[in-house]
């Protein structure tokens, strides 16, 4: 299942001296990076036609994606979110998608199990949830 990757931030960043309305406005905001996905901002900014230097500029880097998302909730900058991990925060109003631009990621999730246990109820339930999440 390919993931959808898109910028997320606190609703506070949509207002103020430097409101975040267009991708170009990212030049006035801190990008929140995750070590495991270090090149994703580069892929996103170049996919929307922004200079690669934006992704390589100063920002904050975190070891865990959830920490970067918490920093975004706290208004410290803009993170790249993955749909399954940010849906609840968006629904609750703690995060917003400032733009409707989504980058499909080559990364994804896979369910791997020994054939003998592949259809046990808990593995089947997780697999069904994962497949249903790909259409969101």
Per-position DSSP letters for 53-115, written without gaps between them: HHHHSSEEEESSHHHHHHHHHTTS-EEEEEHHHHHHHHHTTS-B-SS---EEEEEE------G
Tokens of 49: 């036609």
Mean predicted confidence (pLDDT) in 19-31: 95
Return the CATH architecture of domain 2-106. 3-Layer(aba) Sandwich (3.40)
Question: Residue 79, class by beta-carbon neighbours within 10 Å (0-12 exposed, 13-18 middle, 19+ buried)?
Answer: buried
Verdict on whether the full-model pTM lies above 0.85: no
How high is the pLDDT of residue 136? 57
Q: Is the pLDDT of residue 81 over 80?
A: yes
* Mean pLDDT value across the chain: 88
Per-position DSSP letters for 63-75, written without gaps between them: SSHHHHHHHHHTT
């Amino acid at each position: 299942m390919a993931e959808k990757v898109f910028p997320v931030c606190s609703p506070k960043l949509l207002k103020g001296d430097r409101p975040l309305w267009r991708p170009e406005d990212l030049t006035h905001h801190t990008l929140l990076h995750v070590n495991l996905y270090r090149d994703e901002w580069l892929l996103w900014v170049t996919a929307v036609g922004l200079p690669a230097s934006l992704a390589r500029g100063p920002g904050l880097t975190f070891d865990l994606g959830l920490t970067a998302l918490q920093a975004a909730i706290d208004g410290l900058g803009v993170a790249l979110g993955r749909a399954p991990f940010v849906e609840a925060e968006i629904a609750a109003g703690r995060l917003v998608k400032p733009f409707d631009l989504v980058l499909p990621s080559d990364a994804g999730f896979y369910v791997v199990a020994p054939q003998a246990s592949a259809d046990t109820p808990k593995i089947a339930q997780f697999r069904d949830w994962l497949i249903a999440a790909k259409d969101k």
